[in-house]
């Protein structure tokens, strides 16, 4: 039976990318060697990582003020490395508590600096992005969770603040054009919008690294090392970088971030319209903050929830159970999710008769 994969991450990958990657895993470009068994310093791999870098620069039209870095350890690592590289102990950063990944960021940064928690929507189960706050004057940067993957909210306009923004864009990287002047650091793990778990892409505005720090940053964790060594200070996860490069090529061929944005709006609108119309379901998030990537919704009661999960599974729908602490449903519809699959989910919701 055909499967419709709504998993939150690792998530759906374009089938053309999977096919090409599987061929390269056996024989890369007719070398008689697997992409996974050549050196990360071999010229053939350098070509791959350089192409991946230039595709990110091209897709976002980055100026020379920015560097693109490939690393490992996931976005979770960057939640600690960003404050470690950017602020001194005793200085402050600020975060609006938008949910699961904001709390992770607060906890990861707290050993390094003061964290101003600007506001929270915890009291309404993170059904919105708190926007009513004032930035304390001593703030060095604002950390933003661009898209809360678990709670299903997304910034549709980034805050306007007099300090740089550090953005965890793991679940909405490459999904729309960006106001780049607002950001000093963007990071994203690959497994949601551009490939496999194992590599993380960083966009760093170079001038933020000029600051004199009063603590030691271990060489391997230092953004300056990563830039100087062109992401190759140690053995990068080569195959995930290769798949990221293929997915970036795919993204460009589809029409780039503008076209991704158009499709993501179309897909999410289709699904939210059904949720709002269907008598058995309701959306978990207020309309203005709804995510285009992770569509969270609930059934009217537990019995309907269970029977829809069962019905969806029988129809080949995978990965729509909500996060354990949140419950309900979450349909993750990243860049590689075709409109037809979202339409299929909508059809199944319409056929559902508990
Ligand atoms: C998935 C996700 C992460 C974690 O990524 P890892 O690769 O598991 O470290 C961090 N932030 C957000 C917003 C995510 O969606």
Number of Cβ within 10 Å of residue 78's Cβ equals: 26
The answer as to whether 2 is a domain residue is no
Quote the pLDDT of residue 101.
Answer: 98
Indicate the top mutation candidate among 74, 104, 330, 335 to test ligand 1's pocket, ranked by most ligand atoms within 8 A of CB: 74
Ligand 1 atom closest to the CA of 147, numbered from 1: 13
Q: Are residues 331 and 288 in the same domain?
A: yes
- Mean pLDDT of the 5-18 span: 97
pLDDT above 90: residue 50: yes
Number of Cβ within 10 Å of residue 60's Cβ equals: 19
Inter-residue contact 234 to 39 (CB < 8 Å): no
Query: How many Å lie between the centroid of ligand 1 and the Cα of residue 205?
Result: 21
Q: Is 168 a catalytic residue?
A: yes
Q: Are residues 247 and 276 in the same domain?
A: no
- Mean pLDDT of the 240-268 span: 98
Name the CA dihedral angle for 163, 60, 148, 333, rounded to a multiple of 10 degrees.
Answer: 170
Q: Are residues 234 and 339 in the same domain?
A: no
Inter-residue contact 330 to 295 (CB < 8 Å): yes
Tell me if 152 CB under 6 Å of ligand 1: no
- Mean pLDDT of the 250-254 span: 98
Q: Are residues 37 and 83 in the same domain?
A: yes
Tell me if 99 CB under 6 Å of ligand 1: no
Q: Are residues 115 and 225 in the same domain?
A: yes
| Marked catalytic residue, from 127, 168, 172, 289 | 168
Handedness of CA 7, 258, 24, 240 (dihedral sign): negative
Q: Are residues 30 and 108 in the same domain?
A: yes
Tokens of 139: 């703030």
Q: Are residues 197 and 306 in the same domain?
A: no
The answer as to whether 234 is a domain residue is yes
- Mean pLDDT of the 147-167 span: 97
Q: Are residues 115 and 194 in the same domain?
A: yes
DSSP 8-class letter at 322: P
pLDDT above 90: residue 326: no
Q: Is 133 a catalytic residue?
A: no
Containing domain of residue 281, as a range? 256-351
Tell me if 101 CB under 6 Å of ligand 1: yes
Question: Which CATH number covers residue 183?
Answer: 3.40.640.10
Q: Is 101 a catalytic residue?
A: yes
Domain count within the chain: 2
The pLDDT confidence band at residue 325, using thresholds 50, 70 and 90, is confident
Q: Which residue, of 232, 254, 276, is where some domain finishes?
A: 254
Question: Which CATH number covers residue 333?
Answer: 3.90.1150.10
Q: Which residue, of 254, 270, 286, is where some domain finishes?
A: 254
Q: Rounded to whole angstroms, how far apart are CA atoms 194 and 282?
A: 30
Q: Rounded to whole angstroms, how far apart are CA atoms 298 and 309?
A: 11
| Marked catalytic residue, from 70, 101, 267, 321 | 101
Alpha helices in 64-163 (DSSP H): 74-86, 100-109
Tokens of 25: 């895993």
Tokens of 225: 């090392």
For 259-314, what is each residue's pLDDT tens digit? 999 999 999 999 999 999 999 999 999 999 999 999 999 999 999 999 999 999 99
Query: How many Å lie between the centroid of ligand 1 and the Cα of residue 188?
Result: 7
The answer as to whether 7 is a domain residue is no
Query: CA of 216: how far to CAs of 34, 71, 81, 92, 112, in Å?
Result: 39, 20, 12, 18, 12
Tokens of 149: 């993957």
Q: Which residue, of 254, 270, 287, is where some domain finishes?
A: 254
Query: How many Å lie between the centroid of ligand 1 and the Cα of residue 215?
Result: 27
| Residue whose C-alpha is closest to residue 186's, from 69, 11, 334 | 69
CA 139 to chain centre: 25
Query: How many Å lie between the centroid of ligand 1 and the Cα of residue 43?
Result: 31
Quote the pLDDT of residue 27.
Answer: 98
- Mean pLDDT of the 40-63 span: 98
HSE-up of 120 (CA within 13 Å, CB side)?
A: 12
């Amino acid at each position: 039976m055909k499967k419709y994969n709504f998993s939150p991450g690792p998530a759906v990958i374009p089938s053309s990318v999977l096919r090409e990657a599987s061929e390269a895993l056996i024989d890369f470009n007719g070398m008689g060697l697997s992409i996974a068994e050549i050196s990360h310093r071999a010229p053939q791999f350098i070509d791959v990582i350089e192409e991946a870098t230039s595709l990110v620069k091209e897709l976002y039209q980055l100026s020379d003020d920015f560097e693109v870095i490939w690393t490992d350890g996931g976005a979770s690592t960057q939640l600690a490395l960003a404050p470690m590289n950017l602020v001194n102990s005793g200085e402050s950063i600020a975060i609006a508590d938008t949910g699961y990944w904001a709390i992770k960021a607060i906890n990861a940064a707290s050993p390094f600096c003061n964290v101003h928690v600007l506001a929270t929507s915890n009291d309404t189960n993170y059904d919105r992005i708190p926007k009513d706050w004032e930035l304390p004057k001593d703030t060095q940067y604002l950390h933003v969770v661009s898209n809360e993957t678990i709670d299903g909210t997304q910034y549709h306009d980034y805050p306007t603040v007099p300090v740089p923004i550090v953005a965890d864009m793991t679940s909405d990287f490459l999904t729309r054009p960006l106001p780049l002047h607002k950001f000093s650091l963007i990071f994203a793990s690959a497994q949601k919008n551009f490939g496999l778990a194992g590599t993380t892409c960083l966009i760093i505005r170079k001038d933020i690294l000029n600051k004199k720090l009063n603590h030691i940053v271990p060489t391997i964790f230092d953004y300056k090392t990563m830039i100087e060594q062109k992401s190759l200070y140690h053995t990068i996860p080569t195959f995930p970088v290769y798949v990221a490069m293929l997915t970036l090529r795919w993204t460009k061929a589809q029409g780039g971030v503008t076209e991704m944005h158009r499709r993501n709006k179309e897909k999410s609108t289709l699904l939210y319209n059904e949720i709002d119309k269907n008598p058995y379901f309701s959306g978990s998030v207020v309309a203005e903050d709804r995510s285009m990537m992770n569509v969270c919704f609930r059934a009217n009661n537990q019995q309907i929830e269970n029977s829809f999960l069962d019905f969806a599974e029988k129809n080949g729908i995978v990965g729509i159970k909500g996060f354990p602490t949140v419950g309900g449903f979450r349909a993750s519809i990243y860049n590689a999710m075709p409109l037809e699959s979202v339409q299929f989910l909508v059809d199944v919701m319409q056929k559902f008769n508990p």
